[in-house]
């Protein structure tokens, strides 16, 4: 009488090493593309936030025939929290800005926060309004000249409305620049090239071939981070 021999169907060590090696190769190839796709989706959403801010700002201007300067804002009533007896609104970080007016009057349904950038204890996402020659949120000065900082769409404006996004990574900033300021010429070969092409205070750089920009950058809180200033509207 023959006795049955139980077959061992488990993977051998060599087979397991081979499978892990294949998984590692696939991860190395696919992961960067997945990360880039996620980042591009966030940048697209951030640009949509700017478009929403533009719609809200234009609606405000049509009602009041004026954009209020951040420096003139003393009180913002919070109609969003209580439309009957609105309390005064005080931001947790920074001073009042035009975006607080839009949000608290429910003209901008979303908050000022965008999906890219990193708020900190000094700066947060904001929608500001400043006169030409004034300092913007984050510390740069809007000169209104192409040699230092001027929004391409602002023309000869006396005051500008802008979207401030703090502490973007280099990759976020480059993707935002490519989407808002592009197309760039072929000599823009790195992420840094796209950002350096429009640094506030330095004007438009030679690399990239830009003639103007609606998105400007300034160094952020940490090395390798950038604050972004995006055109919304002007007066």
For 101-145, what is the HEC assignment?
HHHHCCCCCCCCCCCCCCCCCCCCCEEEEEECCCECCCCCECCCE
- The pLDDT tens digits of the residues spanning 139-167 come to 999 999 989 999 999 988 999 999 999 99
What does the mean pLDDT of the chain come to? 91
Length of the chain equals 235
pLDDT at 105 over 80: yes
pLDDT at 4 over 60: no
State the pLDDT at residue 203. Answer: 96
State the pLDDT at residue 9. Answer: 64
pLDDT at 14 over 90: no
pLDDT at 39 over 90: no
State the CB neighbour count (10 A cutoff) for residue 219.
Answer: 16
- Contact status, residue 124 vs residue 138, Cβ threshold 8 Å: no
- The pLDDT tens digits of the residues spanning 173-208 come to 999 999 999 999 999 999 999 999 999 999 999 999
Higher pLDDT, 64 or 14: 64
State the pLDDT at residue 5. Answer: 56
Q: Over pLDDT 90: what percentage of the chain?
A: 80
pTM across the whole model: 0.86
């Amino acid at each position: 009488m023959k006795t049955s021999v139980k077959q061992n169907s488990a993977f051998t060590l060599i087979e397991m090493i081979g499978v892990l090696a294949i998984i590692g190769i696939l991860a190395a190839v696919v992961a960067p593309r997945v990360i880039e796709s996620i980042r591009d989706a966030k940048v697209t959403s951030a640009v949509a936030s700017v478009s929403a801010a533009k719609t809200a700002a234009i609606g405000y201007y049509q009602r009041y025939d004026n954009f209020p300067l951040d420096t003139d804002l003393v009180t913002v009533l919070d109609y969003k929290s209580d439309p009957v007896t609105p309390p005064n609104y005080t931001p947790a970080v920074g001073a009042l800005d035009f975006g607080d007016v839009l949000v608290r009057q429910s003209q901008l349904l979303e908050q000022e926060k965008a999906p890219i950038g990193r708020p900190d204890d000094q700066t947060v996402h904001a929608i500001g309004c400043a006169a030409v020659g004034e300092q913007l949120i984050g510390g740069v000065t809007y000169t209104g000249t192409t040699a230092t900082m001027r929004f391409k769409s602002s023309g000869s404006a006396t005051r500008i409305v802008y979207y401030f996004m703090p502490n973007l990574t280099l990759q976020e900033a480059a993707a935002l620049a490519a989407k808002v300021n592009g197309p760039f010429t072929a000599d823009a070969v790195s992420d840094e090239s796209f950002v350096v092409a429009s640094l506030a205070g330095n004007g438009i750089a030679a690399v990239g071939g830009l003639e103007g920009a609606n998105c400007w950058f300034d160094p952020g809180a940490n090395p390798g981070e950038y604050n972004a200033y995006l055109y919304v509207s002007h007066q």
